[in-house]
Structure 1
Amino acid sequence: MRVIKIGGAQMGPIQKAEDRASVVARMIALLDRAAEQGCGLVVFPELALTTFFPRWKEHEADIPSFYEDAMPNAATQPLFDRAKAHGIAISFGYAERTPEGRRFNTSILTDRTGAIVGKYRKVHLPGHVEYDPERTHQHLEKRYFEPGDLGFPVWRNEGAVMGMCICNDRRWPETWRVMGLQGVELVVLGYNTPSVNSQMGDEGLEKRLYHSELSITSGAYQNACWAVAVAKAGDEDGHPLMGGSIIVDPNGFVVARAQTEGDELIVADADMDACNFGKETIFDFARHRRIEHYGRITAQTGATPPQD
């Protein structure tokens, strides 16, 4: 057995006025709780250091302050130090600004010494670029980030093959399959998902949680891997984010689930060898995939129905 005790460190809301030191202190408190339970890996949400600023255009002058120019940096070094002291690998998301001024929605993965072993930049950016008066709230990720340029790599860490994705990536089967084709055994992801659909307000929280869970459980099942999906949740500056953090096994079953919309730790013992059966039977890609029929997936973007 190759068991990793995983902690999903859901975070409650981060208000615009909350500074990095306060946020990092909350993350360290969750990390300490995970250490008490013997976790070897702790996963934090997307944009774990700040409020979800892509909801704004009216505060655009403040936006540059939400990016990180280096990782770790002075504000986050205490988190890395505590993770190293506990011997816990961590993953969390943040807004990255490169030396060239490029901006990405990014997540990193460390080993138990606090060294960064993997970086991922969000590929599937939702939302729009310009202010949309028809929406109940804005979702300006396409304004404040560019699509990730690193693809969907995987890394060997903690004796397992690990990959990362972020928020909207979870809804795209291509995300999971590209990692699955690299033998991924554990996908870690964070999200900041509004509780309300800005374009279909009557969808309701129950359906939004269902669709989130459906995308994660199906991705894990169809690639015979574990998945840890961790939310930032609750009311951020009057804008509600949904919780629903879960840990999912390689058969697509939820084995741990958050009960609140606040800072909360969920824990599960994840045996990486549990991936083997699915990878060697129904999802033995080498035996069963028929790539001669899949060209359309990468040859086009939009759908093209047959002509009448």
Structure 2
Amino acid sequence: MIQANDPARPALRVSCIQFEPEFGAVEANLARSSDLIRAAAREGSRLVVLPELANTGYVFETPEEAASLAEPVPDGPSSRAWGRLAAELKIHIVAGIAERAGDHLYNAALITGPNGFIGTYRKAHLWHRENVFFRKGDLGFPVFETALGRIGIAICYDGWFPETFRQMALRGAEIVCIPTNWVPMPDQPEGEAAMANTLHRAAAHSNGIFIACADRVGTERGQPFEGQSLIIGTKGWPLAGPASRDRPETISAVIDLAEAGAKDLNEFNSVLRDRRTDLYA
């Protein structure tokens, strides 16, 4: 296992795949995502991030519809398909999925690698009508030890909460992968960049972590999506993207995970070290 902050680690190519899932067409979405993952792997990517609910689509109309499309993780057909692909290509994949666990449904994401399934994250902060279909995540904010480094996962609206990234940074996360389905914010000015871009750039800067956001595009059952997928460096500056607002696109960046962590801003300041935990409630 690679140790965190090991300067001998090779550079890592990361890709975020922005595409348009077809609602309910699980086999077609798996096939399309697999083609795009293969293309990224051919270009040298070793970590590939897919959007939120990448195999099912997003806009469920009833709990029964959501239940009919949800699958167990890691034993469902989508988990197995992505797992086989990761093993074949010798890469890591993070993908959003509707998870069925017993009688409960979760808006979840899995991470799988060359040696098999690694873990699951369940979305902690549910957006709008997700509350009708899913339970709030109950796994906390795990950081997964992988052959690439320490990987965290959050999903879409989780990014509106600074605590999401701070929890993972304090647990040693070096990169946080964000499967997402960003939608326009209420009262968003015409042509304005996605609010999420600002929030995630700030989170990367204030925690010294890489963040890789894979959004979707298109309009599903009347709901438009923002696109603008983004890969952000530890200082908060974009390394790739924002991607297009309205067309499928894969963005990629080569990063050095040894750069992650609470680096000094100047001779006096380091963001994580300067935290005043004696004053925080």
TM-score (norm 1): 0.81
| Aligned twin of 2:22 | 15
Choose which of 228, 236, 248 in structure 1 pairs with 2:212: 228
1:283 aligns with 2:270: yes
1:167 aligns with 2:145: no
Deviation at 1:71, TM superposition (A): 2.5
1:5 aligns with 2:13: yes
Deviation at 1:274, TM superposition (A): 1.7
1:145–1:275 Cα change, 3 Å? same
**Residues 143-222 of structure 1: pairs in structure 2 closer than 5 A:** 143-195=132-184, 197=185, 200=186, 202-204=187-189, 206-207=191-192, 209-222=193-206
> What SS does the aligned partner of 2:48 have?
strand
1:245–1:218 Cα change, 3 Å? same
Contact kept in structure 2, 1:154 and 1:162, CA below 8 Å: yes
Choose which of 272, 275, 279 in structure 1 pairs with 2:257: 272
**Residues 1-308 of structure 1: pairs in structure 2 closer than 5 A:** 1=7, 2=9, 3-12=11-20, 14-16=21-23, 18-54=24-60, 56=61, 59-99=62-102, 101-113=103-115, 115-127=116-128, 140-195=129-184, 197=185, 200=186, 202-204=187-189, 206-207=191-192, 209-257=193-241, 258-259=243-244, 261-276=246-261, 278=263, 282-283=269-270, 285=272, 287-295=273-281
| Aligned twin of 1:132 | none
Q: Percent identity?
A: 29
Contact kept in structure 1, 2:105 and 2:134, CA below 8 Å: yes
Whole-angstrom CA distance in 1 between matches of 2:78 and 2:278: 50
| Aligned twin of 1:303 | none
Deviation at 1:75, TM superposition (A): 4.4
After superposition, the C-alpha distances for 1:49-100 in whole angstroms (9 at most, x for unaligned) are 112134x3xx55423212113424234533322221111100011111112x
Whole-angstrom CA distance in 2 between matches of 1:204 and 1:227: 25
The answer for unaligned runs of 5 or more in structure 2 is 1-6
The answer for unaligned runs of 5 or more in structure 1 is 128-139, 296-308
Deviation at 1:210, TM superposition (A): 3.7
Greater Rg by CA: 1
Letter matched to residue 277 of structure 2: I
Whole-angstrom CA distance in 2 between matches of 1:11 and 1:27: 8
Whole-angstrom CA distance in 2 between matches of 1:38 and 1:110: 17
After superposition, the C-alpha distances for 1:160-212 in whole angstroms (9 at most, x for unaligned) are 111110000111101011111112110001111223x4xx3x423533x3411
1:48–1:203 Cα change, 3 Å? same
Deviation at 1:283, TM superposition (A): 3.4
Contact kept in structure 1, 2:182 and 2:196, CA below 8 Å: no
> What SS does the aligned partner of 2:54 have?
coil
1:74–1:60 Cα change, 3 Å? closer
Contact kept in structure 2, 1:15 and 1:237, CA below 8 Å: no
Higher helix share: 1
After superposition, the C-alpha distances for 1:22-44 in whole angstroms (9 at most, x for unaligned) are 00001111111111101111000
Deviation at 1:110, TM superposition (A): 1.6
Deviation at 1:153, TM superposition (A): 1.2
Contact kept in structure 1, 2:82 and 2:93, CA below 8 Å: no
Whole-angstrom CA distance in 2 between matches of 1:21 and 1:74: 9
TM-score (norm 2): 0.89
Letter matched to residue 124 of structure 2: V
